[in-house]
Structure formats: C-alpha cells, structure tokens
Amino acid sequence: MALLEVRNLKTYFYTRYGISRAVDDISFDIQKGETVGIVGESGSGKSVSCYSLLRLIAVPPGRIESGRAIFNGTDLLSCAQRELRKIRGNAISMVFQDSMSSLNPYLTIGLQLTEHLLLHKGISKFEAREKAISSLLEVGIQDPESRINQYPHQLSGGMRQRVMIAMALITGPLLLIADEPTTALDVTIQAQIIDLINDLKKKKDMSVIFITHDLGVIAGISDHVLVMYGGKIMESGETRDVYYKPIHPYTSALLKSIPSVEQKDKELYVIPGHPPEGFEDIKGCVFASRCEYVQDKCMVTIPELMEVSNRHYSSCLRIQEGALLDVLKEGDS
C-alpha cells in the first residue's frame, strides 16, 4: 500500500483575467521509502500540486476543485483542519525554496526549531532545545550550541537551507516535501544538500517528494520521476527509464536542452514557443503548440496518462499508438 495516493487533483485560481488551471487532473503515488522527483518548467504546476496536498493554497483566489490525497488512511483534502494540523509539520514536513523568506528574521534559529517540538510532541523546553542542537549537528552545522542563538541573517545561504532541513525533520516525518531547496545555492552547496537529503532519507526511512526544474538534480536523488507541463503530468516512470527511454516529446525536449560539454561549437537546443499561461481553454494536448511531432488529432483530443511499458506512463497520443519511440530515443542520445 502506498504512503500517499493522489487521485484526480485539480487546483484552479480565479482571477480577473480568467481561470488559471494550475493543476489540472493529476494522479500519482508515493511509496514508503521512495524519492519521487517532480520536474518541469516554471509554471508547470509542480509546487502548486504539493501546496494543495497540505492545503496551503490561498483562498481566494485559489481553490481545490476536486481530488483525493490519501495519506496513511486520511484524505488530506477533506479532513478537518484540526486533524490536518496534526499531520502538517509533523507526519508531513516541507522544505521551502527560499530559506531567507521562510525563516522568521526576528526569531533565533533555536526558537524556530523548538516551536515544532513544543507544538506536536508536547515535551519540555529543555528537551526541545537539546533535540534542536542534535538536529543541527545531524544536518552538518558545526558548533550548534552557538548557532542556535543566532538569527537567520547571520548564517550563509547553505547553512540556512540546512536549518530548514533540520526544522522539517525534527519531528520525524514520514514524508518530506522539498520545494526546489537547491535553487539559490551554488553547485558545490547544491551537491552537499542533495547528499544530505539522501543520507537522512535512508537513515530515517522516510519518503521524499523533490521538486525542481533541474534535470541533473533529479537524476542524482530520485527513484521515480513525474514530468509536468501546463498543470498536467506528461510522463512518469522510474528515473532511469525516463532519462534513457523518454516516451513524451516534452521530456525528450527537456533532455535535449541540457548543455553538453562534449558537443563544442553547437548551438544550444531551445524548446520553441512559450508555456501556456493557464488562462487558455486548450482543447487538445497542452504541449501540442510547441511539439515538433504534432498532428491534427493532438490539437483536438485531450490525452490521458496511460501505461506504455512496465510502470512507465505517457500522455502522448502518438506514443500510445506506438509511434515516435525510436525517434525520441535517438533525439536524446
């Protein structure tokens, strides 16, 4: 049985410009001990989908239109707020993208770390402080006894991100959601954060949802990949299959967009066109206007995510008919 089962999730934003279908009917599972990467361009619905699971969407203008998210037998989308508060920040924790804006600049690191323990575990302040110090040490922060009394602006970006990870893991969650935690960091620190999350995941036997637009990051951390575009899942499968045997033109285009040190004096590949703004009423495939393999049927038929091979799913009509498989594999190599 999966730790988290998401079915037919739809999250729309109602604005003066129209309805933005940020997440438009997606389904996926998270197994116990598994890391699932969610990848795609900005605006594809990666973060909104996970914010929806914890009901962190601002209402209005946002609204979860439909769907179920069964976590350990509880539907996160329909349970009472009191029950959700027991899960959020306790059994499910989240590491946000910008650590500087996520941490309170007026409170010390120690106060922000112990808040979760005092709220969810009901332990004494002394016990919470000792647990906070050990958590900082666990994520690689040296001299935690001094750091715990400092404020966020006194720490580097990498250290703040480590504090965010410590804060997310201090209650011993079953599921960690990491929303682009390496975006604002340099390459060396990115690698350290990825290794840290991998190590802690194995040590604590927890599941991870890792959101990013960086395909290289996903390759190094995830067991399973969801490729999103225009609020929909274009492709999903085991990481190795998605990278070496892509079965959607969008995934193939993303892979071709990665710069290669082996191909000198060659123009970088760019996916033509622009992502949908979300207000358009698209009748067919959301990627059709940018797809080099588009046919007339793609413009008028909304494809469903279907299993093409073992645990490898695609929402491309032509792939489902058995076409393009060799073309996409050759184009990515």
Task: Give the number of C-alpha atoms closer than 13 A to the C-alpha of residue 168, restricted to the C-beta side.
Answer: 31
Q: Which one of 170, 189, 218 terminates a domain?
A: 170
Q: Which one of 127, 148, 170 terminates a domain?
A: 170
With H, G, I as helix, E, B as strand and everything else as coil, classify residue 317: helix
In this structure, is residue 55 part of a structural domain?
Answer: no
Q: Which one of 170, 197, 219 terminates a domain?
A: 170
pLDDT attached to residue 84: 92
Q: Is 202 exposed, middle or buried (0-12, 13-18, 19+ CB in 10 A)?
A: exposed
- Whose tokens are 């793609």? That residue is 298
pLDDT attached to residue 120: 80
pLDDT attached to residue 184: 66
In this structure, is residue 184 part of a structural domain?
Answer: no
The token duo for 293 is 């393999």
In this structure, is residue 137 part of a structural domain?
Answer: yes
Give the span between the Cα atoms of 143 and 137, in whole angstroms.
8
pLDDT attached to residue 28: 95
In this structure, is residue 187 part of a structural domain?
Answer: no
Q: Which residues of the chain have pLDDT under 50?
A: none
pTM of the predicted model, to two decimals?
Answer: 0.90
pLDDT attached to residue 264: 67
In this structure, is residue 20 part of a structural domain?
Answer: no
- Nearest C-alpha neighbor of 52 from the set 28, 17, 73: 28
In this structure, are residues 242 and 38 in contact, taking their beta carbons and an 8 Å threshold?
no
pLDDT attached to residue 83: 92
pLDDT attached to residue 215: 84
In this structure, is residue 276 part of a structural domain?
Answer: yes
- Tally the domains of the chain: 2
- Residue 308: domain span: 245-332
